[in-house]
């Protein structure tokens, strides 16, 4: 292709949005305590494909995002929240703690222990 025929550059903003959407998919998945493998199975793709979506390596099609939103019980708009705010979206210490709790909870293999943690959280949460 000649100089004038260069294929339109994928706008930086478009790539940024792909990264953002992937990051939101990852956050939501972790919040629900799902592994990439589990998400992949829920939406009918390979583990590698789910990983590439989350990393923004592969763009998520409109149809696929619909499936992902359904699997993660989130409105489609959830994945676009925070776009347009300049610079990387800062995650608050509170959000970081919530993600950390979800990640650690998902690592608890013993169902009795999971239930105990769940009951503790419920007990502490009651006003």
Q: Is residue 65 part of a domain?
A: yes
Query: pLDDT band at residue 15, thresholds of 50, 70 and 90?
Result: confident
pTM of the complete model beyond 0.85: no
CA neighbor of 20 nearest in space, from 93, 82, 99? 82
Q: Is residue 92 part of a domain?
A: yes
As separate numbers, helices (DSSP H) first and strands (DSSP E) second, the chain gives 6, 0
Q: Is residue 2 part of a domain?
A: no
Whether 41 has a pLDDT exceeding 90, the answer reads yes
Give the per-residue pLDDT at 29.
93
Q: Is residue 6 part of a domain?
A: no
Highest mean pLDDT among 5-14, 73-82, 92-101: 73-82
CA neighbor of 33 nearest in space, from 104, 117, 123? 104
Q: Is residue 4 part of a domain?
A: no
Q: Could you give the number of structural domains in the chain?
A: 1
Q: Is residue 118 part of a domain?
A: yes
Q: Is residue 86 part of a domain?
A: yes
Q: For residue 77, with 0-12 CB atoms within 10 Å meaning exposed, 13-18 middle and 19 or more buried, which class applies?
A: exposed
* Mean pLDDT within 13-41: 91
Give the per-residue pLDDT at 127.
64
Query: pLDDT band at residue 87, thresholds of 50, 70 and 90?
Result: low
Q: Is residue 31 part of a domain?
A: yes
- The mean pLDDT of the chain is 85
The residue segments making up the domain with residue 105 are 11-125
Look up the CATH number of the domain holding residue 63.
Answer: 1.10.260.40
């Amino acid at each position: 292709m000649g100089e004038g025929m260069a294929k339109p550059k994928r706008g930086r903003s478009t790539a940024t949005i792909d990264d953002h959407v992937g990051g939101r998919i990852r956050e939501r998945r972790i919040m629900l305590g799902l592994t990439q493998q589990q998400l992949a199975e829920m939406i009918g793709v390979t583990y590698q494909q789910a990983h590439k979506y989350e990393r923004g390596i592969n763009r998520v099609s409109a149809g696929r995002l619909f499936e992902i939103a359904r699997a993660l019980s989130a409105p489609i708009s959830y994945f676009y929240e925070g776009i347009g705010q300049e610079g990387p979206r800062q995650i608050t210490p509170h959000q970081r703690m919530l993600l950390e709790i979800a990640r650690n909870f998902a690592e608890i293999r013993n169902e009795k222990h999971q239930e105990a943690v769940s009951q503790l959280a419920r007990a502490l949460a009651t006003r």
